[in-house]
Structure 1
Amino acid sequence: MIEQRAIQVAHARAQLSEAIRAANTISARHAEVHQRIATACARRDAAFAGLRSGELPEDVGAARLAIAKADIDDLEALVAGLQCEIAAAEQTRRVAEDALLGAEAALAHTERAVAIQRLDEVVVQLEAKLCAAIGERHRLAVEQSGGGFLMLSRAWVPSKPLFDAITAGVPPMPPAR
């Protein structure tokens, strides 16, 4: 089960990586188009300046203005379309991020569940050994006292952490490292 969860995490990471790459590609294209708009605006402004100064004949200046305006209009339409693509790419990236977080959380949950199961197996084994040792301790104490009735509490007393865990539900503290 852990392997399946790890594969899901790897798959989610790959999807996020692809979503980031796609978003970056679209953002770069968006920046490139904005640069092209700035260049077209500069051509337009130069055509205006050339017309005003008389440097350009009216027909040449008007043609340059028209071409620059057409370029700007086309590029701005392209930017509008890219805005939708950017929004979609960002949404895809956010979904991929959420999927990765979910896959990582599921993996961590599965790892904890496996660790708990393994600890449960260890506890069962240790409890069986503890109970056998307590029983043997009690049997030897009965023999030592002459063979009559002997309360378990006179033969064995649990440690305070064990007593608190059983009677008060207080988990024992892990040993200091």
Structure 2
Amino acid sequence: MKHKPNKTWFFAGLLIIFLVYQLSFYLYQVFFIPGSLTQQRGDAHLIYGIFLIFLIAVTSSQVLTPEVTCSFDKNMSQVVIESKSLSNITVTKYAFADIERADIEQYQERFGQVGRPVLILKSLKTIPIHTDYIKAQDIRHDIYTINKFIRQCLEGKNFLG
């Protein structure tokens, strides 16, 4: 199970550089060039500036979103959750014997119910597989498959048979 946001580092970096350039050019126009020379109204400047700041925020949040990989290793009888971000890599391992079940951590939003897959340990500690909430109904099959796989690995059966 892999949750990997689409990341094209090169294009995202170019977009951020372009947006910062546009914002600095905008600020230069607003603060250093008299309004009579630019022949533009203040409202247009304000809307353009807000739009640029919004684009910078969205682009940088997409770049900073971590990539999470959750691997179920049958040979080692463990779950490995690896989270990669720009600054660090975090690897967490749990034995199948320590896992009670996989479940959905649900959250009610304005537009409906969302959830994220979590592992529930026998100590009743909840471990999120990744941090993003998606439509709860979209991950129900994944949860069923994870529970079936872990149960069959603990029983010593072949998952595909």
Larger RCO: 1 or 2 (CA < 8 Å, sep 6+)? 1
TM-score (norm 2): 0.39
Higher strand residue share: 2
Higher helix residue share: 1
